[in-house]
Structure 1
Amino acid sequence: MQGSVSVTMKAPAEQIWNLVADVRNTGRFSPEVMEAEWLDGAAGPAVGARFRGHVRRNEIGPVYWTTCRVTACETGREFGFEVLLGDRAVNNWHYRFTPVDGSTEVTESFRFNDSAVMRLFAVVGGQLRRRRNNRDMRKTLERIRAVVEAEN
């Protein structure tokens, strides 16, 4: 299961990337993630860096922490991370930044890893989760756009 949303922002890609790739900003923009912090002495984004996010699922609960690992980190171009269950990735989030006529198209996407559990989830409740993720990705991107466009 996967999904993506794109929003064009009147700001340079690097400016937007700086907000997104510093996961400590996540709570400002995400409807479900309240806060995030770097782990293991990481001071910022780099492939392999780990962080944890404090999540309030569906904005009401349950509330829990997830551990994540950065999988893509190229300033002004892309930022991605996987959500871990133990040492195993279960979900992947990715941002791509594409310059377009003086603006930047930002695409946020998610993809659940293929497994028997996730295939079952896709049948049982996956469509609701996909719809929620798509709605929340749009909210996240719109909130980021409001910040970066106010700064320019």
Structure 2
Amino acid sequence: MEWTGACYADTPTTEVRREIAASPERVWELVAGIGLMPTLSAELRSVEWLDGATSPATGARFLGRSEHESFGTWETTSYVVECEAPRVFAWAVENPERPSAVWRFSLRARDDGGTDLTQWMQLGPGRSGLSYAIDRMPEKEQKIVFVRMREFERNMAATLDAIKELAEGTRAAAERRGA
């Protein structure tokens, strides 16, 4: 994807797709299990449901704690804005009306019994940690956005690769073999 010229106010998006040889129900178990995500993420350190929630449902909230070498550590509250098992799980970060980001997993059943899994994200329109970097260096906004979007894309690809391995059982088999 080409990010040249994107500004934060443009609410740039990126997405990554994987074909997974597992049913949508199996893939759903993984993407809807938010406790798994910190083990797959380069930034997310922990998550916990809030208000007594124990699984995704529209309106449920969860707290995420993250860390990045350039941005430090931070916490966010996310709001589930779309949840339809086993098809879509989406959440808005901080403010569902004007989120700092929106994230979505979409699952589509394939004719062969497998699943097409897409992870999509949108930056903004609400302020985020990236906004503060842009405030300090407004002349570098496009570069800052470009670099961060590429970083999201790489991290999303790694997450989907790990979900694919888990869903297909290849990760567990490799770990049993000591690989």
TM-score (norm 1): 0.87
In the alignment, which residue of structure 1 is the partner of 2:157?
138
Question: C-alpha deviations, 1:36-86, integer Å up to 9, x for none?
Answer: 10011112110010001111126x751221110001111110000011169
In the alignment, which residue of structure 2 is the partner of 1:96?
106
Unaligned runs of 5+ in 1: none
| Structure 1 vs Structure 2 CA RMSD | 2.6
1:86–1:79 Cα change, 3 Å: closer
Aligned length in residues: 151
Does 2:76 match 1:66? yes
| AA matched with 2:74 | Y
| AA matched with 1:139 | A
The equivalences for 1:38-49 within 5 A come to: 38-49=49-60
| AA matched with 1:103 | G
SS in 2 for 1:89: coil
Q: Distance in 2 between matches of 1:21 and 1:73?
A: 9
Contact 2:81 2:96 in 1 (8 A): no
1:81–1:116 Cα change, 3 Å: closer
Unaligned runs of 5+ in 2: 1-11, 174-179
In the alignment, which residue of structure 1 is the partner of 2:144?
125
Contact 1:3 1:110 in 2 (8 A): yes
Q: Distance in 2 between matches of 1:109 and 1:146?
A: 19
Q: Distance in 1 between matches of 2:65 and 2:159?
A: 16
What is the percent sequence identity of the aligned residues?
29
Q: Distance in 1 between matches of 2:117 and 2:53?
A: 25
Detail structure 1 runs of 4+ shifted over 4 Å in the superposition. Answer: 85-88, 115-122
**Which has more radius of gyration?**
2
In the alignment, which residue of structure 1 is the partner of 2:8?
none
